[in-house]
Structure 1
Amino acid sequence: MIISRQYDLSNLMISISGVRGKINNGFGLPEALLFTQSFATMMAGQTVVIGRDSRPSGPYFEHLLIASLLATGSNVLTLGLVPTPTTKAVVKLAKAKGGIMISASHNPMEWNAFKFISKDGFFFNAKENETLVSILKDGKYAKSLIHPKSYVESGEDYIDLHIKSVLSRVNLAKIRKKKYKVFVDAVGGAGSFVVPSLLRQLGCTVIEHNCKPDGTFPRPPEPTPAALVSSEKAFKKSKADIGFALDPDADRLVLFTPKRGAISEELTLPLALRSALGSAKRGSKVIVNLSSSFLNEHVAEKFGMKVLRSKVGEANVVSEMMSEKAVFGGEGNGGVIDPKIPSFGRDTLSGIAHILNLMAEENRKIDDFVDELPEICMEKQSFPLAKDVSLSTLYEKFKSEFSKAKMSTKDGLWLSEGSRWIHIRPSNTEPIFRVIAESESASDLKETLKRVKKCVES
């Protein structure tokens, strides 16, 4: 009897972002075991890195993984509570065969996930994911060894190597000289220790907020301005020069500024870009996804850079960056990607360092840089897909409503019409579809959203 056929995996989200689900609705121990056995089969006899965020389910998933890997002869480097980018960086730095980050990112506490990492610290590509699922469906797992010679050891020494790689990308002396006072809200997650450590090595005074990983999220996990109302009050009270808010696995970054408080996550990447592109050759390429603000083009054009757009998802952005030999990239959800840092993916440590570097190099306050950017007029909405409506039917409604728009089907449906764009696509991480719209004016955005509503509700 093949064990995988005993379980219904229909409630799981399996995508380029790994596998995730609710603990009591499809992603309990039996289902998790199937994926750990499949992953262990792919990694058999090799070194594997494991990191996790602060979710209470994390430790038992971690032990499940360790047992499966040890049984097939793999050695395990455990990192404990670390950001996703740190886990990815350690896979590369330790020359491991692969790794897993146990985190459902911005999803609520009742969710958890496995983010599968391959050699050199990249998330599994489509082919690797297909292999993993194929092993699971066939139930052809590697046999447990009677006398495995595998072992578990701490990979903590590698964590500081990740931090050092970030420090090497900025003017460390100038930042340290400024002695910035920095506020950090880690939502009690994976960045609770590593991010304050980075900041102290940058010579900053750190005000820690929600940096106690006690197994609860003291605010909504996705770091949007709406979720950061109470944190914003604490930031303003701290009188800090700048503040940073993270998601539970610390691969997304949102800023607090003294004048504005919490600002849109779409501003993170353009600000980091401004720091990184100062030393890049004119004509170099930058990759952002289709759902990211045109503020990135605004910044890149000032440096003579060209912006190309990829499908949504870190793995897709990174793939495009590699093929185009891009000097920088990221996603508008607060994800900064510096290809010269071994995480080579969305990395809050990288974003923080680059933005502090921008302030130090130009000897200006963070609000000065935000003031110079055009006003952002963007709306992000999510909708459940009605049972009697397919995505293709939904796309046809949008094509009809925006019949004069330029169209791309690279990732869902992307429409560009005059000074606005609209992106409609299914989520990689939740059972919903997303509609993101941006325009150059608030009034035009309002009118665009009326037309979006018409398509969704008709």
Structure 2
Amino acid sequence: MSRKLFGTDGVRGRANFHPMTAEMALRLGAAAGRFFRRDGRNRHRVVIGKDTRLSGYMLENALTAGLTSTGMNVLLLGPVPTPAVGYLTRSMRADLGIMISASHNPAEDNGIKFFGPDGFKLSDHAETEIEAIVAGEIEPAQPDNIGRAKRIDDGRGRYVEYAKTTFPAGQRLDGLKVVVDCAHGAAYRAAPEVLWELGAEVIAIGVEPNGFNINDGVGSTHPEACAAAVLEHGAHLGISLDGDADRVLIIDETGRMADGDQIMALLAARWAAQGRLRGEALVATVMSNLGLEHFLHGRGLRLERTRVGDRYVVEKMREAGFNLGGEQSGHIVMTDYATTGDGLIAAMQFLAAMAETGDKASRLSSQFEPVPQLLKNVRYAAGADPLSADAVRAVIAGAEARLAGSGRVLIRKSGTEPLIRVMAEAEDETVLREVVEDIVAAVEKAA
């Protein structure tokens, strides 16, 4: 069957509008519970975390009702980062983990992400099976097998303690002044705690969630807030997380931003030198800069590309046995430490490099010169398919021919919003702008 509910990262949409309604969350919970029930006994458990959106309360309660109706015992973690759900799903021997979050999206959106008992996000096949159950009749548990729900008060603390174990033993962050921007999101307590306990002087911003301000002018979608704080406080480093803390951008001491490609380049080079980079390869998506590919090739390393979405990066890593991958947007996946992107732990690996080398953030975050890249988004109406228009196809073909051998064009639909993403790379910035503008104009006309 075709997938209608699940996108590239779970189910996502505007809160209180299909599919992000209480009714659908209840059915999703019941369907996931039925999918993961191995037998009729009431001994299964699921952990649920969330970020700080107001709608999280509604969806948490609805999911809990659906899950318990099919016999699952629910353990409620409260606000924790997405990677904490992956970690605690395994640690607590749960059958299922659920994160309620729309990540970097605005507060009026929300989403539901599922993790299997191994802590990794569910495969496309598993999500398709759950979607099929949602569409049918869901068999409830017998009255004596209805599940229970329980609050877990130390979920954040467990994750904090684990995160610290990923920092090199014996090292501390004494003498480093660090700004951490938590986007008024899920890491608003965990991230400052970890950095402070490791010895850093912490300036925390984006740590006053009110249900409506997640990602609003702060976080990795607005790194200028972190950059301003770095300059104001004379900090050595800025860490800019998104709403569920599965992605990170680094701000150096000059206020300059480094994206996921630069962070991955640093980690890949260091891990390769230490003999830790499995397969001598880094996994990234088609969006990563050509400069990253050139950087890796110059060191005898490979760049393995996947379609956009951190889940596809992880699938490739697991399939081939690689241990480092991620996205330009700041999802950094280190399977030695986490089952999904973890912005905080990635930032700690960057801090470890600073502590070990004594280099400034500006040096470590500038590993390669990016090939000029331009990305523009075009919004389209529901049900429209502008990429199928002959005029759009002709313009894209012309752009590809123009850049042949000197750049590339990538056009794709967003998996989470009604957007066409138009991206191109070229050494000649004038040509780059012209190519992208021509495609955008054609898509806008068709849309």
TM-score, with structure 1 as normaliser = 0.86
- Residues 15-38 of structure 1: CA deviation (Å, up to 9, x unaligned): 131111112432222232222222
* Structure 2 residue corresponding to 1:337, chosen from 324, 333, 336: 333
Q: 1:299 to 1:400 in 2, by over 3 A?
A: closer
Question: How many Å separate the matches in 1 of 2:97 and 2:366?
Answer: 41
Measured after TM superposition, the shift of residue 155 of structure 1 is: 4.2
Aligned length: 434
Measured after TM superposition, the shift of residue 345 of structure 1 is: 1.4
Measured after TM superposition, the shift of residue 448 of structure 1 is: 3.3
**SS of the residue aligned with 1:119?**
coil
| Larger displacement relative to structure 2 (387-396 or 316-325) | 387-396
- Structure 2 match to 1:124: 122
* Structure 2 residue corresponding to 1:245, chosen from 240, 249, 254: 240
Question: How many Å separate the matches in 2 of 1:122 and 1:314?
Answer: 11
Structure 2 letter corresponding to 1:422 = V
The question of 1:191 aligning with 2:187 is answered yes
Q: 8 Å contact 1:55–1:109 — kept in the other structure?
A: yes
Structure 1 letter corresponding to 2:96 = G
Structure 1 letter corresponding to 2:127 = N
Measured after TM superposition, the shift of residue 270 of structure 1 is: 2.8
- Structure 1 match to 2:168: 171
- Residues 121-151 of structure 1: CA deviation (Å, up to 9, x unaligned): 111211111111111111x213143123643
- Structure 2 match to 1:135: 133
- The gaps in structure 1 that reach 5 residues or longer are 1-9, 406-415
**SS of the residue aligned with 1:14?**
coil
Question: How many Å separate the matches in 2 of 1:327 and 1:58?
Answer: 32
Question: How many Å separate the matches in 2 of 1:217 and 1:293?
Answer: 31
- Residues 301-337 of structure 1: CA deviation (Å, up to 9, x unaligned): 3543211101111111111111111131001111100
* Structure 2 residue corresponding to 1:31, chosen from 24, 29, 36: 24
- What are the within-5 Å matches in structure 2 for residues 296-375 of structure 1? 296-341=292-337, 343-375=338-370
Measured after TM superposition, the shift of residue 289 of structure 1 is: 0.7
- Structure 2 match to 1:4: none
| Larger displacement relative to structure 2 (392-401 or 348-357) | 392-401
Q: 1:418 to 1:161 in 2, by over 3 A?
A: farther
- Structure 2 match to 1:205: 201
The question of 1:18 aligning with 2:10 is answered yes
Question: How many Å separate the matches in 2 of 1:325 and 1:183?
Answer: 34
* Structure 2 residue corresponding to 1:62, chosen from 60, 65, 70: 60
**SS of the residue aligned with 2:196?**
helix
- Residues 94-147 of structure 1: CA deviation (Å, up to 9, x unaligned): 221111100111121111111111121111211111111111111x21314312
Q: 1:297 to 1:71 in 2, by over 3 A?
A: same
Structure 1 letter corresponding to 2:88 = V
Measured after TM superposition, the shift of residue 159 of structure 1 is: 4.3
The question of 1:85 aligning with 2:83 is answered yes
Measured after TM superposition, the shift of residue 436 of structure 1 is: 1.9
- What are the within-5 Å matches in structure 2 for residues 412-431 of structure 1? 417-431=404-418
Q: 1:376 to 1:236 in 2, by over 3 A?
A: farther
- Structure 1 match to 2:35: 42
Question: How many Å separate the matches in 1 of 2:413 and 2:277?
Answer: 36
The question of 1:71 aligning with 2:64 is answered no
**SS of the residue aligned with 2:143?**
coil
Q: 1:450 to 1:62 in 2, by over 3 A?
A: closer
* Structure 2 residue corresponding to 1:52, chosen from 34, 50, 60: 50
Q: 8 Å contact 1:188–1:216 — kept in the other structure?
A: no
Question: How many Å separate the matches in 2 of 1:318 and 1:37?
Answer: 27
Measured after TM superposition, the shift of residue 188 of structure 1 is: 0.8
Q: 8 Å contact 1:13–1:429 — kept in the other structure?
A: no
The question of 1:152 aligning with 2:149 is answered yes
| Larger displacement relative to structure 2 (431-440 or 445-454) | 445-454
- Residues 228-259 of structure 1: CA deviation (Å, up to 9, x unaligned): 33443223112111011111111111122221
- Structure 2 match to 1:5: none
Measured after TM superposition, the shift of residue 451 of structure 1 is: 4.0
Structure 2 letter corresponding to 1:96 = A
Measured after TM superposition, the shift of residue 70 of structure 1 is: 2.2
Measured after TM superposition, the shift of residue 223 of structure 1 is: 4.2
Question: How many Å separate the matches in 2 of 1:400 and 1:87?
Answer: 43
| Larger displacement relative to structure 2 (301-310 or 82-91) | 301-310
Question: How many Å separate the matches in 1 of 2:45 and 2:372?
Answer: 47
**SS of the residue aligned with 1:207?**
strand
- Structure 1 match to 2:105: 107
**SS of the residue aligned with 1:30?**
helix
Measured after TM superposition, the shift of residue 266 of structure 1 is: 4.4
- Structure 1 match to 2:289: 293
TM-score, with structure 2 as normaliser = 0.88
Question: How many Å separate the matches in 2 of 1:438 and 1:240?
Answer: 33
Q: 8 Å contact 1:17–1:429 — kept in the other structure?
A: yes
- Residues 155-187 of structure 1: CA deviation (Å, up to 9, x unaligned): 45554454455444442433x154321101111
| Larger displacement relative to structure 2 (254-263 or 188-197) | 254-263
Question: How many Å separate the matches in 2 of 1:353 and 1:182?
Answer: 11
Q: Percent identity?
A: 27
Structure 2 letter corresponding to 1:356 = L
Structure 2 letter corresponding to 1:289 = T
Q: 8 Å contact 1:243–1:255 — kept in the other structure?
A: yes
- Pairwise CA RMSD: 2.7
Q: 8 Å contact 1:13–1:21 — kept in the other structure?
A: no
Question: How many Å separate the matches in 1 of 2:6 and 2:239?
Answer: 30
Question: How many Å separate the matches in 2 of 1:328 and 1:375?
Answer: 20
- The gaps in structure 2 that reach 5 residues or longer are none
The question of 1:260 aligning with 2:260 is answered no
The question of 1:396 aligning with 2:393 is answered yes
Q: 8 Å contact 1:285–1:325 — kept in the other structure?
A: no
